[in-house]
Amino acid sequence: MRFTRLRLVGFKSFVDASDFVIEPGLTGVVGPNGCGKSNLVEALRWVMGESSYKNMRASGMDDVIFSGSGNRPARNTAEVMLAIDNSARTAPAAFNDADMLEVTRRIEREAGSVYRINGREVRARDVQLLFADASTGARSPAMVGQGRIGELISAKPQARRAILEEAAGISGLYSRRNEAETR
């Protein structure tokens, strides 16, 4: 599962549609302070199903919507699209009918988020499971934020186990078992 494109519209400082092609190999994002580097990483985490606005440096999920600047009015919606190369057909069965998956999350002020995979509306859980199975996702240890290394070192054994299980890609299985048991 390889990310090939990230498109942002109205997300944080990216007021206009911004399209980024993600080439194979290592990608670096460089730029002066405040140009939106961290916003870009947050967009990636957001489209993968981040549910905590605190993890988005926000005081409410609507804060991810462009809030206006000197000469630009605020927007009422934000959208992030992540395109995934699925030619190896490793996506969960429900979404494994295409070589390319486009995962979209759109938020409207005071109306919450809607997720889509290849145009079909899905639950946040479907998106979260899609990435959990690929050992990535909003909470994945593949996304190392400031202070996270210190957290791993000082974590209690159970919390550390959760981090390692996420890295091993089995946390999606636990979620499904819990879901099955509560039905």
Binding site for ligand ATP (CB under 6 A): 12-13, 31, 33-39, 63, 65-67
The position carrying tokens 């979620």 is 175
In angstroms, rounded to a whole number, what is the distance separating the alpha carbons of residues 97 and 1? 14
Instruction: Judge whether 172 is annotated as a binding position.
Output: no
Query: Between 31 and 157, whose beta carbon lies closer to ligand ATP?
Result: 31
The correct pick among 4, 13, 18, 38 for binding Mg ion (CB under 5 A) is 38
Nearer to Mg ion, 37 or 116 (CB): 37
76 annotated to bind ligand? no
Question: What is the closest distance, in whole angstroms, from the C-beta atom of residue 101 to Mg ion in the complex?
Answer: 28
Q: Does 4 bind Mg ion (CB under 5 A)?
A: no
Output 46 or 66, the one with its CB closest to ligand ATP.
Answer: 66
Cα-based distances in Å from 140 to 36, 40, 58, 65, 99: 22, 17, 20, 24, 24
Does 32 appear as a known binding residue? yes
Q: What is the C-alpha to C-alpha distance for residues 133 and 128, in angstroms, rounded to an integer? A: 9
Neighbours of 175 (CB within 10 A): 14
Q: Report the residue number, 75 or 130, with the smaller CB distance to ligand ATP.
A: 75
Question: Which of 75, 74, 114, 118 is closest to 96 using CA atoms?
Answer: 118
Q: Is 39 annotated as a binding residue?
A: yes
Q: CB 23 → ligand ATP: shortest distance, Å?
A: 21
Q: For the chain, give percent helix, strand, coil, nearest 5.
A: 35, 25, 40
Question: What residues line the site for Mg ion (CB under 5 A)?
Answer: 37-38
| Binding positions for ATP | 32-39
Which residues are annotated as part of the binding site? 32-39
